[in-house]
Structure 1
């Protein structure tokens, strides 16, 4: 069987220094590159774990690695290190925010109602029931070049606006040198679902320019004289850049296992999203600007 791989040598040169070192005691890690290829193959094809080809190793190794690194935060640290290395060169700080809903397969249901103690797993496993049935909503923030800066999963019935502040808090890009991590974009672009007074106050308080259109019902309320308040400004030309978040979502949904969720655990599904984001940043970022050894610990600064 011929397996199509996705991690090129240039991408692996950027990812390999960020991999955890072999433990001092116990068995050494299986080959990291082959394990990442196995996880990527599973979610690109939306195949069951037991159907993984022999060329990418045992499915038990890939599944255990996905869960273990999701629990201890390794996937997030690798992604943060790649984003931090790109900050000095080409992160576009005009950030777009949006969400997408993915249908949940019947195999995603049936997990225990409460997550295991000590594991960052929500009680509802980020599954919600709406008109279309069980689904999961992925909230995303991307830079102006359609690369993910932060992501979060909730139930499919959850609204966009309640998750906005959590997504903005998750934007945290450490600097490769001295200084605090950068957490404040220059502007935030979002659609009408995010047009609320609380969100505009949150952005204004942090000194971030809001480019959010108003729904027609809010425009009608502003015509009631002084009680309606001052209408917010809206830059229609800057709003055209919001297609970056749509392109970012399209990159994730090219993986069939992300466009349709089959994982019972939310942390497993979110870990797969982090892996897809890691490959996006490793593929599109020029290699000359990434520090190599020691970059895995730069997120702690």
Structure 2
């Protein structure tokens, strides 16, 4: 049981990286990117291309792909997302759903349908572990992934709390129109938020390719995991994604001890339980509406002050 708990917590680190970008997009730009999982897989394939074709070491390849993914997010927001958001709530969902299909088929055409992995390129890191008391074995790669997750979230927290960009993001997330009146370019902030979100998706995809095999159609499953972690932890909360990822990872880990099918089923059941609890609380407080259902906790993206100032 202790081993399952530790493995679940470490798995939550990966889910936190994957979910942070999705949460940031909703917290700042106010829409759900259904292509988020496919963008993560695309980032993984770019890392594989840089390693296998360009001959870069794995970590150098990851460092090179992250800014490429950030640029892709910036372009997508400037040319696609911003236009569709003006069309209402449904159009962005349909657009990102179509973008996901384009990415899946594009990756199939470029990279083929064979499953691939970075495991062969990271040497002993793919299987190396540390032995703890009570016969518990902890993989080095999951530990690195978890530490990177904490480091990434901590860095974003510092940026949001103490930099001019962070103040602009918080103000835009709270009220874009009021931010514009204060001299903040909300469109530029949205582009930067999208760049960060897609870069995080690419980073998560790289870690996924290190620990498992990927294929062009693996994105939707990753989107589901990211969405579940976001809802469990609270949309708009960076550290909430870490909590949500850990809860989801622990549930899946304990489910796997029961049966192979229980790995995903347990995570889905926990997600449904949290969602049901949010529905009940929203109804009991007579809040109503989707915003009340996914009410965001106090976070850097939405200041807790009564005035709503950044």
| Structure with larger Rg | 1
TM over 0.5: same fold? no
TM-score range, shorter chain: under 0.3
Report the structure, 1 or 2, having the larger strand content: 1
TM-score (norm 1): 0.24
Report the structure, 1 or 2, having the larger helix content: 2
TM-score (norm 2): 0.23
